[in-house]
Amino acid sequence: MEEILEKLLEAVEFGKVDNKSPFPPQLKGQDGSHELTISAIETGIKPKQILENALIPAMERVGKKFSENKIFVPQMLMSAKAMGASMCQLKPYFASGEIKTKGTFIIGTVKGDLHDIGKNLVAMMVEGGGWAIIDLGVYVGSERYIEAIKNNHGAVVGLSALLTTTMVNMGEIVSKIKEILPEIKIIIGGAPVNDDFCQKIGADFYAPDPQRAVEYLNKLAS
């Protein structure tokens, strides 16, 4: 059992999706996260163990390496893809309630902004950290965030903005959410935003990368 989870951890850490995938070269010809997850379930390993002993630690390693500039966006995307292939097999167990999530994270790129690569990475890493994700997509205005929050009691919200022009919209969205739902925690991110801006607009936390967002969310959940 340990061996298969170790292999799965390695597959996700290094972005090996399935046995046909040529990436990464050092794992060529070997099973990827897709096959390893299926084998793990067939062997009788509980989905919760797969999540906690392979996927979450793998994404923690990936997040740490990315924060330390030891890997870059393409490698992180491959890891996220490998994690996604594994999560596809585990989804039915989430849906049945057999795996408890730490909470719900609602994420979207703010109104006026189409950039979603960073937002998608954050969503995938947070999902890998054991959270249920509601991805509202791009061009999201305050009404859609508020509706999603009302439908998901206790959720944490993440806003992404990549343009200096859409930072203004981010500020307005935070004000509107806090006006109606002051207890909701809001995390912001994206290249042009920073801690000062976060404080200025009244958001709760600024994370420069997915790992820092996961750490903050886990503190909230504990």
Residues that bind ligand B12 (CB under 6 A): 73, 107, 112-119, 121-122, 158-160, 162-165, 187-192, 207, 209-210, 213
Least distance (Å) between residue 66 CB and ligand B12: 7
115 or 176, CB closer to ligand B12? 115
Q: Look up tokens 């849906």; give the residue.
A: 95
Spatial separation of the C-alpha atoms in residues 214 and 199, rounded to whole Å: 20
Q: Assess contact for 112 and 139: CB atoms under 8 A.
A: yes
Least distance (Å) between residue 6 CB and ligand B12: 27
1 or 191, CB closer to ligand B12? 191
Q: Look up tokens 């292939």; give the residue.
A: 85
* DSSP bridge partners of 134: 106
Q: Which tokens hold the place of 87?
A: 């999560």
Least distance (Å) between residue 147 CB and ligand B12: 18
Return all residues near 131 (Cβ < 8 A) that are at least 6 apart. Answer: 101, 102, 103, 104, 105, 217
36 or 184, CB closer to ligand B12? 184
Least distance (Å) between residue 116 CB and ligand B12: 4
